[in-house]
């Protein structure tokens, strides 16, 4: 089934940068197809973190000794790398947080103070729980209402319905750029334009987009854009909140403590300028520097070729999986990225996704099973959970072939 790529794309050279891909699981070659969950890390990131601890480990923004200056310089260089990577106007618009979840909570808790009873927040039916629960909590605090954009059977936003949901009461639109479960790529620029016509502010969950396509926050005119490091080949526990400077400057702090202050007395505290106003306490220095290294690594790759190659994997994988009798793909949007969620049945009926994942693991194949933190989406499609294979640029068609063989084995076991 394997065919050669039509692209001049040296996947084997890229795979050599990722040490874990040479591992064996249960005696089988690892086929890591769980990239929408978390990505693997190139040696360039691993070596950067190792060098940090060996040569410059220190706290930042708090000392005038050599190590502190070195660590501070490395952290702020990483901030500028993020700025360039997403084309933010200024580096002070880049706030370091623990991940996408904290970034959304920060905006909901801080910008959300502007909301009043009767205001509305619009999200979509395909959102991750991290882009649902913080807004529910905000609505409960403020007496606001949560409105949901429906999706069609292909897993695409119903844009006409979205336009009808927008009103002068709409204050926030919080929307995923790419669905972690369906792979659907949403028309973010148009979504933002329509929201802005109503005076609403837009937060974009870019956790699944940044690893797969170039993101330009200025071209999108996003008010807030958030993503996690661990999905973009960087360490866990680090993420980014981009916000327009004018919005961030007007927002109250999210946490109080060291570094986010200008001066403190028992009578009054004055806050630091952005970005530091939102970065209380000792930051995840290792993670920030590792994130900078990961984005620099990606800047050294032809991202257009990456996107094209991943689309090739998506099309190959879709065709291969649809060749299995009893397999149904959930999410068939016309515009999607390299994520395939599916249900599998055998002669005796549906096979539970957890059983599928366990058997595949014994074959060295890593996929995600469950509701993928999108329980309302599972309900929309009438399934309790799905299997999900998600590809990165270091995956191969041979690994997809291994997945197909593993799924056929699952069917034989449950026949």
DSSP per-residue string spanning 282-312: S--HHHHHHHHHHHHHHHTS-HHHHHHHHHH
Rounded to an integer, what distance in angstroms lies between the CA atom of residue 158 and that of residue 200?
A: 19
Q: How is residue 108 written in tokens?
A: 């909901």
Per-residue pLDDT of the chain (415 residues; tens, 9 = 90+): 444 444 468 999 999 999 999 999 999 999 999 999 999 999 999 999 999 999 999 999 988 899 999 999 999 999 999 999 999 999 999 999 999 999 999 999 999 999 999 999 999 999 999 999 999 999 999 999 999 999 999 999 999 999 999 999 999 999 999 999 999 999 999 999 999 999 999 999 999 999 999 999 999 999 999 999 999 999 999 999 999 999 999 999 999 998 999 999 999 999 999 999 999 999 999 999 999 999 999 999 988 899 999 999 999 999 999 999 999 999 999 999 999 999 999 988 899 999 999 999 999 999 999 999 999 999 999 999 999 999 999 999 999 999 999 999 999 999 8
Give the model's pLDDT for residue 8.
63
pLDDT of residue 303: 86
* Range(s) of the chain covered by CATH 3.40.640.10: 46-299
User: How far apart are alpha carbons 150 and 144 in whole angstroms?
Assistant: 19
11-32+302-413: CATH topology is 3.90.1150
Structural element, H or E, at residue 263: strand 261-264
Separation CA 318–CA 286 (nearest Å):
38
Convert the pLDDT of each residue in 142-168 to its tens digit. 999 999 999 999 999 999 999 999 999
> Dihedral, CA atoms, 354, 133, 249, 88, nearest 10 degrees?
30
pTM for this structure?
0.96
pLDDT (0 to 100) of residue 1:
40
Query: Looking at domain 46-299, does it have CATH number 3.30.980.20?
Result: no
Q: How far is CA 216 from CA 14, 233, 269, 300, in A?
A: 25, 19, 36, 17
Angstrom CA distances, 267 to 36, 126, 277, stand at 48, 47, 19
Q: What share of the chain is helix, strand, coil (3-state, %, to 5)?
A: 45, 20, 40
* 48 Cβ contact list (under 8 Å, min separation 6): 289, 290, 292, 293
Residues identified as active-site:
373
Residue 52 · residue 71 · CB < 8 Å: yes
> From the CB of residue 3, how many other CB atoms can be counted at a distance below 10 Å?
8
pLDDT of amino acid 6:
41
Domain with CATH 3.90.1150.10 in the chain: 11-32+302-413
Sign of the CA dihedral 182, 183, 184, 188?
A: positive
**Distance set, CA 193 to CA 5, 173, 178, 190, 200 (Å):** 37, 11, 18, 5, 10
């Amino acid at each position: 089934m394997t065919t050669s790529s039509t692209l001049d794309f040296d996947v084997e050279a890229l795979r050599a940068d990722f040490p874990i891909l040479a591992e064996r699981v249960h005696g089988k070659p690892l086929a890591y197809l769980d990239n929408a969950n978390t990505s693997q890390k190139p040696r360039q990131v691993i070596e950067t973190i190792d060098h940090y601890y060996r040569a410059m480990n220190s706290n930042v923004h708090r000392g005038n000794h050599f190590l502190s200056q070195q660590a501070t310089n490395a952290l702020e260089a990483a901030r500028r790398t993020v700025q360039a990577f997403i084309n933010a106007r200024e580096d002070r618009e880049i706030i370091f947080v623990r991940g996408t979840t904290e970034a959304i909570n920060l905006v909901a808790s801080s910008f959300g103070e502007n909301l009043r009873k009767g205001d509305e927040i619009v999200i979509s039916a395909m959102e991750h729980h991290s882009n649902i629960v913080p807004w529910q909590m905000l609505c409960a605090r403020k007496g606001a209402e949560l409105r949901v954009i429906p999706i069609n059977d292909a897993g695409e936003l119903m844009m006409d319905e979205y336009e009808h949901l927008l009103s002068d009461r709409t204050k926030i639109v919080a929307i995923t750029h790419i669905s972690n479960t369906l792979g659907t790529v949403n028309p973010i620029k148009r979504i933002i334009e329509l929201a802005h016509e109503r005076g609403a502010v837009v937060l974009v969950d870019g956790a699944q987009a940044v690893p797969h396509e170039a993101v330009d926050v200025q071209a999108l005119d996003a008010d807030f854009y958030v993503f996690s490091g661990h999905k973009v080949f960087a360490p866990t526990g680090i993420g980014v909140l981009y916000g327009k400077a004018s919005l961030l400057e007007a927002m109250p702090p999210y946490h109080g403590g060291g570094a986010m202050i200008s001066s403190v007395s028992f009578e009054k505290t004055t806050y630091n300028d952005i970005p530091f106003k939102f970065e209380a306490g000792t930051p995840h220095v290792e993670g920030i520097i590792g994130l900078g290294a990961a984005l620099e690594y990606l800047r050294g790759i032809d991202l257009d070729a990456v996107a094209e190659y991943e689309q090739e994997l998506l099309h190959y994988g879709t065709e291969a999986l649809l060749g299995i009798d009893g397999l149904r793909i959930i999410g068939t949007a016309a515009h999607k990225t390299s994520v395939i969620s599916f249900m599998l049945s055998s002669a005796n009926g549906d096979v539970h996704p957890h059983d599928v994942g366990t058997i595949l693991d014994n074959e060295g194949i890593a996929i995600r099973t469950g509701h993928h933190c999108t329980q309302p989406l599972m309900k929309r499609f009438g399934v309790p959970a799905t299997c999900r294979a998600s590809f990165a640029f270091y995956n191969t068609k041979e690994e997809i072939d291994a997945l197909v063989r593993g799924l056929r084995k699952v069917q034989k076991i449950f026949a």
